[in-house]
Structure 1
Amino acid sequence: MKITMEMSEAAYEIAKKVYLGRITRTEGKIEINKITGMNGGSAQAFITIFLAMMNGEVYKRAFNNETNKFLFESIKKDFGKEFLTKALKASQKHVNYYSTLGKGNLSGLQRIINEMKS
């Protein structure tokens, strides 16, 4: 199933609640699934990636570029430049990790990271 921007926007609001400690990861996953129809694995991955971005940590699953750009812009708007920097660092770590898998590279994501840094 393709993750639409509408799904990503709703999932972002729920992932923020998880980050802020208002709900658990499991509650977040269930809520994303219920509200957006995103399957449980993708909902779990969305939360995991968002939390990794907020902490500047590498993540292993990937989003489409439209969702990545939306996340960077939303994190900057909602949490400020410091957290945008962490999100960009996490995504750079993801690009570096992905390049070691021998499946090509994430040039679209790299372009977005470079664009958001400036």
Structure 2
Amino acid sequence: MKITIEMSEGAYEIAKKVFSGVYSRVEGKILIAQRTGMNEGSAQDFITIFLAMMDGKVYKRAFNNATNKYLLESIRRDYGNEVWLKALSAAEKHINYYSTLGKGNLTGYQQIVDEMKNQLRAYG
């Protein structure tokens, strides 16, 4: 199943509530599936990736570039540059991890990260 931006938008709002402790990971996964139509496995992955980004930690599951970009932009908007820099660090760790798998490189995702880092340098 292709994860759409609409699904990602709904999932993001619930993932924020998992992060803040309103919902458990299991509750969040079920709510995302119910409200967006995303399957529970993808919903779990979404939460895992969001939480890893918030902590600047590597994650091993992947989403499409539109969802990746949406996550990074939304984290910057909602949590500010300090947390956004952690999210960018997590994205770079994921890109590096993926490159070790022998499945190719995430060049599109790397371009998104590079563009965002350049925006930070240009606009602060």
Residues 39-62 of structure 1, C-alpha deviations (whole Å, 9 max, x = no match): 110000000000000000000000
Q: Which amino acid aligns with 1:83?
A: V
Q: Which residue of 2 aligns with 1:7?
A: 7
1:68-101 deviation digits (Å, cap 9, x = unpaired): 1111110000000011100000010000000000
Q: Is the counterpart of residue 19 in structure 1 residue 38 in structure 2? A: no
Identity of aligned residues (%): 69
Give the whole-Å Cα distance in 2 for the aligned partners of 1:79 and 1:20: 12
CA distance, structure 1, for counterparts of residue 46 and residue 15 of structure 2: 8
1:32 is displaced (CA, Å) by 0.1
Per the alignment, residue 116 of structure 1 pairs with: 116
- The equivalent residue for 1:82 is 82
- Residue 28 of structure 1: how far off its partner (Å): 0.1
Distance, in Å, in 2 between the alignment partners of 1:116 and 1:54 is 16
Normalized against structure 1, the TM-score is what? 0.99
What TM-score, normalized by structure 2, do the two folds share? 0.94
Structure 2: 5+ residue runs without aligned partners?
A: 119-124
User: Which 5+ residue runs of structure 1 have no aligned equivalent?
Assistant: none
Q: How does 1:1-118 map to 2 (within 5 A)?
A: 1-118=1-118
In the aligned structure 2, how far is the partner of 1:94 from the partner of 1:103? 13
User: SS of 1:113's equivalent?
Assistant: helix
The CA deviation at 1:113 is 0.5
Could you tell me which amino acid in structure 1 is paired with residue 7 of structure 2?
Answer: M
For 2:79, the aligned partner's letter is F
